[in-house]
């Protein structure tokens, strides 16, 4: 059953109370909402209503709203601009450092500096350090709010420390053990603390084998490790193996969402599939670069067909099957591309040699090409009563499906080995390349066997 707080009537009542400046009743209704729903309500308000909200909520309360704006990060800049700078800076002070860094990363360097100058010095330093890490690395997504303890602590002293530091930590399920120089030496869970006696030493119950990631590790690799080992959090160490932060599962969910959207955008040959732009001109600008490239590749394909104009003049029926040959090549190439990119994304493709994967895909292309070739050859023979035409199209289908499948798998795998994002080999790009290959195969074979066709 849908909660009453999700009902449109409830939201409208909140808007009415907001506009009436009925602070007490609005706050009562607003804080009945889940933080995520508070963020959704906030984003749906128009600017005049948001300006009223800034007067009712404190910077700390507004920070909780901002931390839940995960699906619309491109609005950070415009939302900050409509706030008073002091209010915005104070709000970011109350946010977790990694979330505040995410917000500031959308701004210009000048704006970042101005906000950091207003903030508390210690908070500004923590956020600034996160902003210095290269984008899409473990360092850029980690949080510095964690609980670290010493091995000579007892369970009781650790529990006392937790009561003091837990309110400011992003998670306390894992506690990380460090030495005097902040090197990571162990880990234990909150469960380990609860089940042991108060006077037990941490050194006696901690796990010394700790899985960690480096600040420079790619965020996709971090996400894969957390998925494989079912971690709720992972410690992040610098190049001297000193503990500098942790990455929590909610950060990884955001990473997976970003990476999936990024890969889908590239596969669809658009710049940002998540960024909906109601302005047609702006949306067209984002799509045009790839389309212009594909347009010229398409013109090159048309030029290839022109090279076989004499062949077409002699057997005009060949033109009927150009869309069939090109379409089948594009489809099978896209299928192989999707499978290859998926294997790379899940880490499966990294455990096998490229040639083994290519050989496997070649076998798949050969089988599907043979079956489709036989079907189309028989269909054309029955339809046109021309044996050699059916044989030509069937052999062309066999050849193009085999080559297109190999190309669809080969390109992303090689790009991955060269440390280039394999999703750049987008669906439309592979489709256009396979169109060229299929035209060359089809008309090349037609030219060779022209005497039989005549």
**CATH number for the domain including 304?**
1.10.357.20
Q: Give the predicted TM-score (pTM) of the model.
A: 0.62
Residue 274 lies in a domain: no
Q: How many domains does the chain have?
A: 3
Supply the range of the domain harboring residue 336.
280-453
- pLDDT, one tens digit per residue, over 165-183 is 888 888 888 999 999 999 9
Distance, CA of 13 to CA of 23 (rounded, Å): 13
Share of the chain above pLDDT 90, in %: 38
Average pLDDT for 120-139:
90
- Sort strands 233-237 and 243-248 into parallel, antiparallel or unpaired: antiparallel
Q: Are residues 370 and 434 in the same domain?
A: yes
CATH number, residue 172: 3.10.580.10
**pLDDT higher at 407 or 51:** 51
Are residues 318 and 397 located together in one domain of the fold?
A: yes
Q: Would you state the structure tokens that stand for residue 154, as one six-digit string?
A: 């007892």
Break the chain down into helix, strand, coil percent, rounded to 5.
70, 10, 20
Pairing of β 184-189 and β 174-178: antiparallel
CATH code of the domain covering residue 106: 1.25.60.10
| pLDDT, tens only, 408-437 | 887 777 777 776 666 555 566 677 777 888
The yes-or-no verdict on residue 385 having pLDDT over 60 is yes
Residue percentage of the chain with pLDDT more than 70: 85
* Domain identity same for 260 and 284: no
Does 377 share its domain with 292?
Answer: yes
Domain co-membership, 363 together with 439 = yes
- Tell whether 270 is covered by a domain: no
Which residues make Cβ contacts (< 8 Å) with residue 66, sequence separation at least 6?
A: 39, 79, 91, 92, 95, 99, 103
Closest CA to 85 of 110, 122, 48: 110
Helices 97-104, 85-94: axis angle to 10 degrees equals 140
Asked whether residue 211 is assigned to any structural domain, the reply reads yes
- Does 439 fall in a domain? yes
Taking alpha carbons only, the member of 367, 393, 398 closest to residue 380 is: 393
DSSP state of 348: G
- What is the three-class DSSP state of 68? coil
Mean pLDDT of 103-117: 91
- 140 lies in a domain? no
Residues 362 and 232 in one domain: no
């Amino acid at each position: 059953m849908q909660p009453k707080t999700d009902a449109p009537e409830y939201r409208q009542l909140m808007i009415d109370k907001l506009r009436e400046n009925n602070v007490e009743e609005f706050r009562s209704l607003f804080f009945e909402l889940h933080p995520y729903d508070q963020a959704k309500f906030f984003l749906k308000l128009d600017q005049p209503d948001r300006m009223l909200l800034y007067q009712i909520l404190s910077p700390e309360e507004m920070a909780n709203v901002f931390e839940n704006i995960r699906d619309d990060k491109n609005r950070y800049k415009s939302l900050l601009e409509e706030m008073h700078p002091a209010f915005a800076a104070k709000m970011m002070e109350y946010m977790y450092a990694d979330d505040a860094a995410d917000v500031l990363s959308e701004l210009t360097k000048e704006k970042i500096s101005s906000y950091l100058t207003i903030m508390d010095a210690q908070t500004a330093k923590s956020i600034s350090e996160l902003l210095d890490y290269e984008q899409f690395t473990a360092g850029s997504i980690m949080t510095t709010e964690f609980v670290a303890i010493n091995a000579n602590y007892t369970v009781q002293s650790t529990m006392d420390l937790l009561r003091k530091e837990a309110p400011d930590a992003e998670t306390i399920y894992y506690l990380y053990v460090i030495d005097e120089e902040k090197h990571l030496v162990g880990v234990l869970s909150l469960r380990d603390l609860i089940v042991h006696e108060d006077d037990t030493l941490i050194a006696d119950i901690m796990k010394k084998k700790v899985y960690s990631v480096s600040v420079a590790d790619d965020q996709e690799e971090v996400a894969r490790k957390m998925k494989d080992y079912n971690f709720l959090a992972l410690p992040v160490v610098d190049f001297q193996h000193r503990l500098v932060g942790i990455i929590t599962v909610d950060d990884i969910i955001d990473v997976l969402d970003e990476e999936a959207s990024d890969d889908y955008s590239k596969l669809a040959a658009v710049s940002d599939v998540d960024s909906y732009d109601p302005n047609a001109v702006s949306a067209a600008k984002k799509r045009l670069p790839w389309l212009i490239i594909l347009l010229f590749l398409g013109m090159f394909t048309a030029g290839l067909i022109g090279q076989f104009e004499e062949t077409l003049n002699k057997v005009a029926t060949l033109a009927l099957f150009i869309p069939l040959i090109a379409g089948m090549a594009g489809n099978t190439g896209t299928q192989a591309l999707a499978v290859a990119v998926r294997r790379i994304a899940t880490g499966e493709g990294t455990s096998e040699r490229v040639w083994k994967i290519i050989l496997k895909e070649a076998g798949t292309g050969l089988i599907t090409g043979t079956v489709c070739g036989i079907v189309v050859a028989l269909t054309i023979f029955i339809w046109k009563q021309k044996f050699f035409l059916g044989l030509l199209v069937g052999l062309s289908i066999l050849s193009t499906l085999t080559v297109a499948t190999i190309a669809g798998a080969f390109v992303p795998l090689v790009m991955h080995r060269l440390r280039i994002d394999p999703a750049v080999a987008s669906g439309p790009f592979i489709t256009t390349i396979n169109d060229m290959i299929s035209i060359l195969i089809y008309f090349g074979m037609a030219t060779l066997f022209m005497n039989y066709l005549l």
